[in-house]
Amino acid sequence: MQSHQGQHHCAKNTLNLAIWTFAWLLSLALAQFGPSLLWDQHIALTAAAIVLNLLLGIAMLLANRKHLRGLDELQQKIQLEAMALTLGAGLIAGILYEVIEDTALISFNAEISHLVVFMSLVYIAGVLLGYRRYQ
């Protein structure tokens, strides 16, 4: 159980992670839609948006690491197990998804967004199962 100060620190780290994640998502939208909607395919602006997205992605990863280090041992264990499950499931599903597209077992294009949604759902399930297991 965390102290009041530990809970405040955890809440601060969670808010910090949320801010960096939101900034990264906004920069991703800018990199994706800016060239066609805002600056008429200008290469330098598109490259700048991509570099901005990369830098904000790195900042988000660092904020996530700080958030994880601020958790207590049980929460860290739950997160580690959920992330391991997500990595494994994402690797297996991603490769198989590409194979079934290449072998024409599906009639649509395999999109990375499908894999991201799948991995997000696996991660959420992993966290929920972890909290349930260690109640």
Whether residues 101 and 129 fall in one domain: yes
Domains contained in the chain, number: 2
Whether residues 40 and 82 fall in one domain: no
| Residue 1 pLDDT > 70 | no
State the residue for tokens 């194979």: 99
Q: Rounded to whole angstroms, how far apart are CA atoms 91 and 110?
A: 14
Q: What's the per-residue H, E or C state across 22-52? A: HHHHHHHHHHHHHHHHCCCCCHHHHHHHHHH
Whether residues 49 and 104 fall in one domain: no
| pTM for the model | 0.82
| Residue 4 pLDDT > 90 | no
For residue 38, give its domain range.
1-71
| Residue 115 pLDDT > 90 | yes
Whether residues 62 and 85 fall in one domain: no
Whether residues 5 and 53 fall in one domain: yes
| Residue 78 pLDDT > 90 | yes
